[in-house]
Structure 1
């Protein structure tokens, strides 16, 4: 018997066992606040959809990276004509959909024409309004012609609303999403979680995770318990509240506070009395104490805003001083508007803590000037139907997490019921402008118009309070787009 060889064999077995024991885990449970109404990002406005499927299950021609940059995705490259009106996209030739169907130029044509169609249910149909035509040059090449140059076109194609879907599976994407991404949909346990698994046939760099579960935890206290017990390993947007200092002191976790594109507003129905009166809206704006609201609704981490624009954007204009907190001024404006004793209104609140907690604070602040609010808590689906779709509301609190979305104030049928031809003209010029400096100037004009019109009560930029296991890496610090991109996430042991 060769004792030396036997010893080497035994050592190899021990080393192999140790290696297996120390190998990094490949599963992940993330806690998310809201359950999406469905899983098709091309047919719904809820951020909760993109927070699960964006970059994980579905991909667009371009994608938005962690710093807000435009990156190639299903289009590996493109050329733009000298007049800025023609984009020629060269597509990935080894991509397939999760059901095995091929990806090619016909899918791109189908997806873009579907999104821009007259009967489109796309919540961001305006993203595609500049498109004149979509032409299949060959299986790997698409030519998109625009009605006019559009400086934001490549960025727009990176939104979740612009992902590419297949005609064979598009109608079923709400319940069983089928994309080209690095993860495949596995299961949706209603009221509990959505599970995705690694796509072994992905065209790009394979992901490290074999399985990820998005678990719905709307209750802040329950999310803290789930984290501390190890039931969840990451809360990308944690409602930490008073528990944050305890978590920060625990070496098992990383606490990463970043920025989002979430303009948190007290939205007002500008088409409904008495909120159709500028002086009433100005009175409400003066009654709001942002510092109190930020402390109570975002654990003090929100950044004050005075218009619908992110402070992280280079075109941001600080308009927070336009309507300073001034109760006497607010009462004076109400009296001038014909409401010396105030009035009653409803405040419909969706589930997130920033809305529910912020609502209580705002109701107390408006009570000081004679406005009595009936608080009506709503589930997400109710809010989308009654407030967002049917415009059946007086006031509501919501974070608009879509990037650079100030153009929503120019939409004819948007739930704010706001119309201003001067603002619309600025947005129209912005659409035609590619020069960055000129675009920033126009963004500044747009911010000032809606701030002066007190269209909504502009509160704060929603912070991204990310908390996750200290051994995890690759989760985004900031949220330039509403997403939990897992493509670079891995365990370090």
Structure 2
């Protein structure tokens, strides 16, 4: 009896030991991300696309800022989660009465991750690089009003302007305006070095970017909870959902499959979060070529579009209809969706008036992203109802689209989500891919910058929206929401997106 008991005990001990050994072996084989997530001092963020580089001051794709802005790089000022301007590397500033002199007092004791000291000379160098003749900054226009930069002392930076620039302070908070060091500026594309709360560790192309907490972060008023952050790039929506459900990814702040959002309902671990963005989905037309150089054709196509059906078919009902290049989040917003509302019969009549009684045909260059493909397919069916044949040409984004459409204007119609906040001024840029020219509109946009009065600016923005809604240089469709899915214990991620970003400063795991 004793022998039997000892035998059973020995067997149990062996089973326990074997179980522990297997568990240890499995643990060793688990991805590092899972181990880190269990430690509750790290996070794995999923993204639908990989950045082309890691320096937001030399290229425009939003994926760059979504990894680096406020994590690695910081600006003189920043934009908070409510879209408000806040001090950052500049503690304070003063603007002269004529709006042409900005004096910034810089924070002392700030160092870049490589040890370079941040002061007014470095800030001047960073801005000169952004605005100079050789600049490749995607938002070079932000700095066009600056005539000279002065550095009276190490903590004082003075910007002298040619004329008032009502949006300058806001623009200085954007990813394209972050401060870069004199020693690291040229290599930031692959090895980003900033002043932020996280340092760059590694970029495994096609897979992930890894960051680690900056233990010497200058802002002692900020408590950073995460020791490690990993951005994993998963373009396929089904794979995104699988990674979330398996725990390989802790959060997908911009989940790419609205039709799969319902699959997370009732999940004990994962929550869904729907917020606002600035992602305006528009079908741009080349206003310089037939038939789109005729406003009546553009108006007819707009009236052939039922926006509610577009939103349902393209993004599973998630989205807000817009009638101009402006979102309900933006100050001075006017609902212009009723200016050229859906009316297929009126659309046919207007086409006939423009000389196309038997319809017309053209090609849309549509990026491969799901929203663009789905929206194009719904538009194709709607246009067919008024006798218009639209051929869909899938165009690789960003490289081919940027080359053909954005830079070459070699297209008839295209579709893309414009992510920049308050970017209604793109229709006044010359050149720009819409090839839209309206002197009255241009004058309104110019006047926005000549005043710092927010009431005056809002009235001007309202006038600009009304002109675009009537002229229709692009088919204004809908604003995409921010569809987030993440572990319910994660706190501090931004639910709304005033700037395309994944700010990690306040992110932590709930105990």
- Superposed displacement of residue 440, structure 1: 0.8
Give the alignment partner of residue 387 of structure 1, picking from 405, 410, 422: 405
2:439 maps to 1:421: yes
Query: Equivalent residue for 1:33?
Result: 48
Is the partner of 1:261 in helix, strand or coil?
A: coil
Which string of whole-angstrom CA distances, capped at 9 and with x for unpartnered residues, describes residues 87-127 of structure 1?
Answer: 11111221111222221111111111121123321111111
Q: Which of 328, 335, 343 is 2:345 aligned to?
A: 328
Structure 1 counterpart of 2:139: 124
Shift of residue 23, structure 1, vs aligned partner: 8.8
Name the residue aligned to 1:369: 386
Cα pair 1:298 1:463 within 8 Å, conserved: no
* Largest Rg, 1 or 2: 2
1:241 is displaced (CA, Å) by: 2.5
Give 1:76-115 correspondences, 5 Å limit.
76-115=91-130
Structure 2 partner of 1:440: 458
Match of 1:15 in 2: none
What is the 5 A alignment of 1:140-159? 140-159=155-174
Which 10-residue stretch deviates more, 119-128 or 54-63?
119-128
1:399 aligns with 2:414: no
Q: 1:22 to 1:243 in 2, by over 3 A?
A: closer
Identify unmatched segments of 5+ residues in structure 1.
1-20
Shift of the 198–119 alpha-carbon distance from structure 1 to 2, 3 Å rule, reads same
Give a deviation string over 1:298-336, Cα, whole Å, max 9, x none: 221201100011112230001001111111222222222
CA distance 1:22–1:162, shift in 2 (3 Å): closer
Matched residue, 2:60: 45
Q: 1:300 to 1:23 in 2, by over 3 A?
A: closer
Inter-CA distance 317–471: structure 2 relative to 1 (3 Å threshold): same
| Cross-structure match for 1:252 | 269
Query: Aligned ranges for residues 228-243 of structure 1 at < 5 Å?
Result: 228-243=245-260
Q: Which among 296, 307, 311 is matched to residue 313 of structure 2?
A: 296
Residue 137 in structure 1 maps to residue 152 in structure 2: yes
Q: Which residue of 1 aligns with 2:330?
A: 313
Q: Count matched residues.
A: 473
Bigger shift: residues 27-36 or 240-249: 240-249
Deviates more, 1:200-209 or 1:26-35: 200-209
Alignment correspondent of 1:410:
428
CA distance in 1 between partners of 2:270 and 2:411 (Å): 41
> Equivalent residues in 2 for 1:446-485 (5 A)?
446-485=464-503
1:284 to 293, 301, 307: 301
1:266–1:398 contact (8 Å) kept in structure 2: yes
Give the Cα separation in 2 of the matches to 1:112 and 1:266.
34
- Counterpart selection for 1:75 from 82, 86, 90: 90
Q: CA deviation at 1:249?
A: 2.0
Instruction: Report the alpha carbon displacement of residue 242 of structure 1 after superposing the two structures with TM.
Output: 2.6
Q: Which residue of 2 aligns with 1:348?
A: 365
Tell me the SS of whatever aligns to 2:70: coil
TM-score by length of 2: 0.90
Tell me if the contact between 2:259 and 2:315 (Cα under 8 Å) persists in the aligned partners. no
Q: Does the 8 A contact of 2:37 with 2:43 survive in 1?
A: no
Runs of at least 5 residues in structure 2 that lack an aligned partner in the other structure: 1-35
Moved >3 Å (runs of 4+): 21-24
Q: Is the 8 A contact 1:259 1:478 kept in 2?
A: yes
**How far, CA to CA, are the matches of 1:240 and 1:195 in structure 2?**
25
| Aligned residues of 1:351 and 1:380 also touching (Cα < 8 A) | no
Provide the rounded CA distance (Å) in 2 between the counterparts of 1:315 and 1:62.
23
C-alpha deviation, 1:415, in angstroms: 1.1
Calculate the aligned-residue CA RMSD, in Å: 1.7
User: Alpha-carbon deviation of 1:186?
Assistant: 1.5
